[in-house]
Amino acid sequence: MTRYIVTGGSAGIGAAVVNRLASAGYHVTSVARRKAATDVELVESVRCDLSNLDQIESPIKELIKRGHPEGAVLCHGFGDFGSLEQFSEARIRRLVDTNLTSNLLLARLLIPIMKAAGKGTLVFMGSEAALRGGKQGAVYAATKFALRGLAQSLRQECSGSGVRVAIVNPGMVNTAFFNELSFTPGADQNNALTAEDVADAVMTILEAPPHAVIDEINLSPLKKVIRQR
């Protein structure tokens, strides 16, 4: 049975990706701090705090031992915004460790397995902040710009090995991402994407013909409106 790993699969975009993969008949392992919110037989959960870099290697290696994953979709991460001088060293480290360094460590574990098998697809979850920096977003944008560069570099490194690497850069998505932030998308349905919109983009990448690579998808709501709380 075709197997996929999805990080951050317990909520938001990650949960939508898990559900789309499972509904398509794939076996999915959600790697997240909480159990995936589904009782679908094709979905299993591995609990792991990906912001704790020391916890990453063991569960991923255990998953790999069970069989070669057809691909991985790395959806974990969080938003933290403010001017740079407002960020403590610990706050910077937490955002960089979660949104960037953990992705590097996961890719480092997954890419060699896929290369050895001669196939596999790795999808990173970027952001519109990977395309253009904005006010109050210096640290967040830095992590997403770097993640986009990682995806582009790995795409070149893996092109001869049968492994595909891609990134999806969504604009504002109507999820719990904004629960702890001082802003949110506007109230109109045209002001935000849904998690299912992003999951559809991911499926387009995963289900492309084996000889084709969709390097990057940039996805935005029709009308960008930001509402301050």
**Predicted pLDDT of residue 203:** 98
Whichever domain contains 143, its CATH number is 3.40.50.720
Q: Which residues contact 225 (CB under 8 A, 6 or more apart)?
A: 185, 186, 188, 191
Residue 111 near residue 159 (C-beta atoms within 8 A): no
**Predicted pLDDT of residue 22:** 95
pLDDT in tens, 177-187: 999 899 999 99
**Predicted pLDDT of residue 122:** 98
User: How far separated are the first and last CA of the chain, in Å rounded?
Assistant: 46
Rg of the chain in Å (alpha carbons): 17
Residue 187 near residue 228 (C-beta atoms within 8 A): no
Q: Which residues contact 21 (CB under 8 A, 6 or more apart)?
A: 4, 6, 28, 203, 206
**Predicted pLDDT of residue 36:** 83
Q: State how far the Cα of 43 lies from the Cα of 53, in Å rounded to an integer.
A: 24
**Predicted pLDDT of residue 162:** 95
Amino acid present at 207: E
**Predicted pLDDT of residue 219:** 97
**Predicted pLDDT of residue 113:** 94
Give the torsion through C-alpha atoms of 118, 69, 8, 95, to 10 deg. -40
Prediction pTM value: 0.96
Checking if the pLDDT of 192 tops 80, the result is: yes
pLDDT in tens, 92-116: 999 999 999 999 999 999 999 999 9
**Predicted pLDDT of residue 110:** 97
pLDDT, averaged across the chain: 95
pLDDT in tens, 115-161: 999 999 999 999 999 999 999 999 999 999 999 999 999 999 998 99
Confidence band for 91, pLDDT divided at 50, 70 and 90: very high
pLDDT in tens, 30-84: 999 998 878 778 899 999 999 999 999 999 999 998 888 999 999 999 999 999 9
> Looking at the 3D structure of the chain, how many domains does it have?
1
Q: What range defines the domain where residue 180 resides? A: 3-228
**Predicted pLDDT of residue 223:** 96
Closest by Cα among 130, 132, 223 to 185: 223
